[in-house]
């Protein structure tokens, strides 16, 4: 299998990032919303690239000692290969090195694959937000201790 590269997503990757998350997520960010992340000092946009192609993306903010996770997306053609796990493991390690002691996220209650991944990486269910998503679906709140 071809090796992958992990690096910060940059402005030159915006079109690819937008396209990836648009096809991978039920509630994607707008193009302008993604572009704004490049100027946000809290933002940690990270991509996993294969042969220069963005195949998985992460978006989160490091706020003092908490990594707030907003997006983990893998392109449809590259799912079930452990890439989301590889990307998230890398980001969690970097956040820990940067002083984060916890990581938090929301996930659709119907997203069993993502929930299983998060649990496997040490996240626990910390609550629920009723009707959180635009279509009315509930979200599970999840938290991981990073120390």
- Provide the annotated active-site residues: 106, 118
CB distance 105 to 123 below 8 Å: yes
Torsion angle in degrees (nearest 10) through CA of 94, 100, 101, 106: -90
Two structure tokens written together for 136 = 């009315």
CB distance 142 to 125 below 8 Å: yes
Instruction: Quote the Cα angle for 138-24-46, to 5°.
Output: 100
Q: How far is the C-alpha of 104 from the C-alpha of 142, rounded, in Å?
A: 6
The candidate with the shortest Cα–Cα distance to 40, out of 6, 9, 5, is 9
- DSSP bridge partners of 67: 62, 103
């Amino acid at each position: 299998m071809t090796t992958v590269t992990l690096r910060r997503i940059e402005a030159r990757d915006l079109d690819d990032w937008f396209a990836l998350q648009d096809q991978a997520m039920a509630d994607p960010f707008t193009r302008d919303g993604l572009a704004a992340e490049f100027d946000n000092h809290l933002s940690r946009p990270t991509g996993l690239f294969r042969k220069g192609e963005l195949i998985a993306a992460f978006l989160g903010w490091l706020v003092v000692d908490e990594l707030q996770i907003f997006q983990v997306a893998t392109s449809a053609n590259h799912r079930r290969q452990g890439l989301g796990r590889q990307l998230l493991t890398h980001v969690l390690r970097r956040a820990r090195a940067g002083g984060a002691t916890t990581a938090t996220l929301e996930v659709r209650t119907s997203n069993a694959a993502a929930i299983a991944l998060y649990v496997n990486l040490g996240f626990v269910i910390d609550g629920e937000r009723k009707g959180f998503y635009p279509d009315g679906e509930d979200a599970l709140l999840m938290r991981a201790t990073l120390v």
